Amino acid sequence: MSDAELRTFFQRYIDALNAHEFHRMTEFVHDEVIMNGDPVKRDDVIAAQAAHTDAVPDFTWRVKDVAVDGDRVAARLFNRGTPAKEWFGVPATGATVEYAEYAFHKVRDGRFYEMNYLIDAQAVQRQLNP
């Protein structure tokens, strides 16, 4: 993929996440992927994504910055939502949270084969437990 194609691919992935169309992950994620260093199945990726929106029905991912280098895409995102049930070990309080996420993914044959992300779970907990 060219840099422009990879940027477009990543934005389509984010658009699918924001539409909560996790069934579309077959377009973006290989059957098996390395997620944060561990081999997992695509179904595990989908389950983790769905768990976020189950607990936080209005969860959104907003891309702030994207960098592309060969088969790699790095992004800084801001995620936002209001938990409707326990999330990150904190009961729902009605508080809306917003936090940064850093994603570093690798693409082969038009889909992610490695997905790494980092979020500040402590920032989420602080916002939910002021």
- Summarize the confidence of residues 37-49 as an average pLDDT: 94
- Rounded Cα distance, 21 and 15, in Å: 9
Mean pLDDT of the chain: 93
The answer to whether 92 and 86 are in contact (CB under 8 A) is yes
- Could you tell me the residue ranges of all domains in the chain? 3-128
Q: How far is CA 13 from CA 8, 23, 83, in A?
A: 9, 12, 23
The answer to whether 104 and 111 are in contact (CB under 8 A) is no
Measured torsion, CA atoms of residues 35, 103, 50, 78, in degrees rounded to the nearest 10: 160
Look at the alpha carbons of 43, 45, 48, 53 in this order and tell me if their dihedral is positive or negative: negative
Q: pLDDT tens-digit profile of 76-110?
A: 999 999 999 988 888 888 889 999 999 999 999 99
The fraction of the chain above a pLDDT of 90, given in percent, is: 79
What was the pLDDT predicted at 130?
A: 65
Class of domain 3-128: alpha beta
Confidence of residue 35 (pLDDT cuts 50, 70, 90): very high
What was the pLDDT predicted at 13?
A: 97
